[in-house]
Amino acid sequence: MLSELKRLKDRYEAWKNLYSEFEDFYEIYKISLSESDSSMEEDIRESLKALETRFSQLEILELLGGRQDQASCFLTIHSGAGGTEACDWVSMLFRMYARWAERHRFKMEILSMLDAEGGIKSVTVQITGEYAYGYLKTENGIHRLVRISPFDSSSRRHTSFASVFCSPVISDEIEVEIKPDEIRIDTYRSTGAGGQHVNKTDSAVRITHFPTGIVVQCQNERSQYKNKAMALKILRSRLYDFYEKEQEKKRAEVEKKKKDISWGNQIRSYVFHPYSMIKDHRTNYETGNIQAVMDGAIDDFIKEYLKLKRAVRTNVN
């Protein structure tokens, strides 16, 4: 109860402060206008842009109301159809989300990374910050890339796919049952950077949950015990999200789309050639500024999808 009150107070204070700043800005604008003083124009434009950015960020927060939206999250990116191209595409998406996290001053920690020729086969990270899950749950699905391949000596156009999956970091107060006879725990030698100890001992841990088919892994810690604890934490998060989705009417359709990381199932297309455009197929929101998006500017996509979900819930009710 107290945490909820604090959350509501913080959101109220943020809007109150924004309104106060807008009033100050408007007074300066009126004075400048009445005195025909053009010397303040650049400062006024910059101030207005900053206010618009703050307003957009607060508007997104108002669209978040799910049970775990305020939580931090685990984010996993897997390569799909496209071979080496797809692994490079995972690397590009990984960089995009890292830049996005930096913009929001969130902490990002790599929990598991499987390198491959041309890039990354799969990667799991923990993103820590308020509403990280609320924001990034909108990224769940298949992301499609179309570009001239840097790996093709003939400079042909290639299409690559990667899946993104986000689940909340749930508190220990929430019970998620994991039966010992329903999981298999495997240890293996960690690959990639991490020091001599990591690379030469079976410290990495992989856990398979038989009833759901969910597989999680962790290799960032030197201790097998710590990797196991973190892998179980990720599994609890994935199971919580899985069981929550079971209660949704459209769960069957969502799960079907997750199974095939290929044609026809993408939520968003990133087209670098023959034209420049990134389009979300759920909302039809699009932009031609591909460089900004790949540098982490995905908040507009997030906001449009949250607005769509709210409109759907309103219509259903």
Range of the domain at 51: 2-62
Dump strand ranges (E) for 19-169. Answer: 73-79, 107-116, 119-128, 141-148, 157-168
38 with 86, same domain? no
CATH code for the domain in which residue 224 is found: 3.30.70.1660
Query: Are 7 and 133 within one domain?
Result: no
The answer as to whether 52 is a domain residue is: yes
The length of the chain, given as a count of residues: 317
Q: Where is 269: in which H helix or E strand?
A: strand 266-271
273, part of any domain: no
pLDDT of 155 reads 79
pLDDT tens per residue, range 132-149? 999 999 999 999 999 998
Q: Dihedral through CA 104, CA 110, CA 113, CA 117, nearest 10?
A: 50
Of 257, 287, 312, the residue that ends a domain is 257
Number of domains in the chain: 2
Looking at the fold, whether 196 and 123 belong to one and the same domain comes out as: yes
27-64 residue pLDDT tens: 888 888 888 777 878 888 888 888 888 888 788 888 88
Residue 197's pLDDT band, with cuts at 50, 70 and 90, is very low
**pLDDT at position 269:** 96
Give the chain's end-to-end CA distance (angstroms, integer): 26
Measured distance CA(222)–CA(165) in Å, rounded:
26
Q: Is the distance from CB of 238 to CB of 213 less than 8 angstroms? A: no
Please tell me which of 87-91, 156-160, 244-248 the model is most confident about, judged by mean pLDDT. 87-91
Average pLDDT for the chain = 86
Is 208 inside any structural domain?
yes
Q: What is the pLDDT of residue 1?
A: 61
pLDDT (0 to 100) of residue 10: 76
pLDDT band at 198, cuts 50/70/90? Answer: very low
